[in-house]
Chains A and B, each alone.
Chain A
Amino acid sequence: MATAVMTSLNPASRAAARGMSDLSIRNLFIIPTILFLIVFNIFPLLYSLYYSFTDFRASTNAAGNFVGLQNYRELLNDPFIWSNFAITAKYVIVSVTGQVLVGFGVALLLNRHIPFKGLLTTLLLLPMMLSMAVVGLFWKLLYDPSFGIINYALGLGTFEWLANPDMALYAVAITDIWMWSPFVMLLSLAGLSAVPKHLYEAAAIDRAGSFYTFFRITLPLVAPILMIAIIFRTMEAFKTFDLAYILTSQPTTEVISIRLYKMAFQEWQTGRSCALAYIVLIMVIAITNIYVKYLNKVKER
């Protein structure tokens, strides 16, 4: 290891030698964090891997029986679980698409000569700083069919948002878009400001249309950072729990996290829920990998 600095004749290292060695400082700084994360992240995962092979129920004190792959087999053959995944996928697609369109759109607008740009950007960031659960609760009032301000502002009369099974998922997605478009906007702004100005000047000299400029210069150069925003938002949307759980209790909004929560803490099927948690985990890892591969491709271009 390159920490054999003690032997070097560098005066700096000789002075440092009076105190702790670089090697021990490095270990002191890094090892506690790694240990902490192993104990509180890796160990629980191994623990639940074990439980996923049992029929353990946390509501009783009886130790579970080892049932092998039975939990996994049953879950993968359960059409209700697959419908939960389908709902989650629909939710992810709707809300991430919405966030990218709104967020990137606002970033394009903000990237012009806007007075009070800093203040407006900060104000636009507010929604994502707030608590999803607490804000979600309040959106219930905004969505209320008889006295909600959304129906009043849009002139929708007594349109049902949350009690309507077909609409509820979109209502949750709209709230999510409100909260997280600012995140996409922020990353897009960072990407847009990094596009070299001379490219636009060159395009202007060539009398390139704004359409051409956007698709040939802006979009390709912002694509990698936009991709990072999409990765983050997809992961978060896939994990969604609070917003959907607080806003409605429709079967059509039961995303996989809610199913998992109910299975674990309401039905107390601990072993089964651990198995489901593992299925979710494997999916998250798979999706992340696909995205990262795609990101690298986008970057290479």
Chain B
Amino acid sequence: MAAVRTSGEIALNRLAIVGVLIVTLIFLAPIYWIASTAFKPRNLATTIPPTVVFEPEISPFVKLFTKRSQIRQAPTPEVYEAAPWWERMIYDGGEKVVRSGRGEVQLSGYPSRFMNSLIVAITSTVLAVGMGTFTAYGFSRFKVKGEADLLFFILSTRMLPPVVVAIPMFLMYRAVGLNDTHWGLIILYTAFNLSFSVWLMKGFIDEIPKEYEEAALVDGYTRMEAFFKIVLPEAATGIAATAVFCFITAWNEYAFALIMTNRRAQTAPPFIPSQVGSGLPDWTVIAAGTFLFLLPVAIFTFLLRNHLLRGMSFGAIRK
């Protein structure tokens, strides 16, 4: 916009600032509500009027990580005293921790599902960005017959509704025993992210001047050396931005995870909703699980904000 000049413009600008602040508050309110509910005692989670000021607790997280059962009778004072502080918290909530025959604390399903999410998202991101970077370089620097068609083919693989691909993939996976395995999901997410990775990386690599490598070739580097020592470091920002996008997609994916996994390799997105069950759900525990799950992506978004803005609008501006 042109520089602010008239008093009318200044008033309009003030109005815009107020508008932006209100919109931002509205957009962040649900996220704030998730975060605050994750630290509430259970009885304050569903009060009307909503509880805004409260003493934060970590009992939702303790409950999230442990396997619990309803207590039939209140613990005797000796048992209560002997229990560690975090178990007392659960007693107070009307539940107790389930222990194995040898007295070991039983973990809930959440930690393993969270680990599955990490394994699947990180591995598929590395594969998608790695393959995508190589392919993007190939398209960017060499002449390829039918380049536009091939690139369109690569992009078109992303247009399909996941459920459409899921049916034959489910049958294929069942035939080769990839159902409910980490690799099954990793391969799917890699295939899903690869198209995106190629397109985004091609944009970034196109921007690196060809002269850099040509100079390196004159200096006696081989093409491969020039790629690894000159192009890759130059493309580091683009690789980081692409990796975050791929990670976010794989981390958040729901439909395939729901269909292709059930126990061993299940990730958190289908697991957290399945814990609601019937009856009154404990929203503090759900909020704690949601909060922990959203945390990595929120941190990523904040750390890489400048690259994200550039990376996201990139493809669109260039066309």
Chain A contacts to B: CB under 8 angstroms: 1-3, 11-13, 15-16, 18-20, 22, 25-26, 28-30, 32-34, 36-37, 40-41, 43-45, 47-48, 51, 58, 102, 106, 109-115, 118, 120-127, 129-142, 144, 146-147, 149, 152, 178, 181-182, 186-187, 189-191, 194, 197, 200-201, 204, 225, 228-229, 235, 238-239, 241-242, 246, 257, 260-261, 264-265, 270, 273-274, 277-278, 280-281, 284-285, 288
Whether A118 lies near B305 (C-beta < 8 A) is yes
Whether B221 lies near A15 (C-beta < 8 A) is yes
Whether B131 lies near A33 (C-beta < 8 A) is yes
Whether B2 lies near A197 (C-beta < 8 A) is yes
Whether A36 lies near B194 (C-beta < 8 A) is yes
Q: Which residues of B contact A201 (CB under 8 A)?
A: 2
* Inter-chain pairs besides A29-B138, A135-B294, A152-B49, 6 sampled, C-beta below 8 Å: A2-B143, A16-B226, A44-B172, A126-B301, A149-B50, A242-B255
| Residue B160, interface by CB 8 Å | yes
Shortest Cβ distance from residue A64 to the other chain B in the assembled complex, whole angstroms: 11
Q: Which residues of B contact A12 (CB under 8 A)?
A: 214, 217-218
Whether A1 lies near B145 (C-beta < 8 A) is yes
Q: Which residues of A contact B217 (CB under 8 A)?
A: 11-13, 15-16
Whether A19 lies near B224 (C-beta < 8 A) is yes
| Residue B54, interface by CB 8 Å | no
Bound Cα distance from A83 to B233, whole angstroms: 53
Q: Which of A113, A115, A121 makes the CB contact (< 8 A) with B4? A: A113
Whether B224 lies near A20 (C-beta < 8 A) is yes
Whether B168 lies near A51 (C-beta < 8 A) is yes
The 10 tightest CB contacts between A and B, nearest first, are A19-B222, A190-B313, A29-B138, A131-B252, A44-B168, A12-B217, A133-B254, A239-B161, A40-B191, A48-B168
Q: Which residues of A contact B48 (CB under 8 A)?
A: 146-147, 152
Number of A-B contacts (CB under 8 A): 306
Assess A134 versus B272: contact at CB under 8 Å? Given A142-B33, A178-B30, A241-B254.
Answer: yes
Whether B161 lies near A284 (C-beta < 8 A) is yes
List the B residue with the shortest CB-CB distance to A263. Answer: B167
Bound Cα distance from A122 to B268, whole angstroms: 25
Contacts A/B (CB < 8 Å), 10 sampled: A22-B142, A33-B194, A48-B167, A51-B168, A51-B171, A58-B174, A123-B24, A124-B24, A133-B273, A257-B161
Q: Which residues of A contact B227 (CB under 8 A)?
A: 25
Interface size bracket, B side: 35 or more
Shortest Cβ distance from residue A48 to the other chain B in the assembled complex, whole angstroms: 4
Whether A187 lies near B171 (C-beta < 8 A) is no
Bound Cα distance from A127 to B319, whole angstroms: 26
List the B residue with the shortest CB-CB distance to A203. Answer: B2
List the A residue with the shortest CB-CB distance to B275. Answer: A137
Whether A26 lies near B2 (C-beta < 8 A) is no
| Residue B89, interface by CB 8 Å | no
Assess A123 versus B223: contact at CB under 8 Å? Given A51-B168, A109-B19, A110-B20.
Answer: no
Whether A257 lies near B163 (C-beta < 8 A) is yes
Please provide the chain B residues from 119 to 162 with a CB less than 8 Å away from any CB of chain A in the complex. 131-132, 134-135, 137-139, 142-145, 150, 153-154, 157, 159-162
Whether B319 lies near A228 (C-beta < 8 A) is yes
Which of the segments B62-70, B72-80, B98-106, B285-293 contacts the partner chain? B285-293
Q: Which residues of A contact B219 (CB under 8 A)?
A: 15
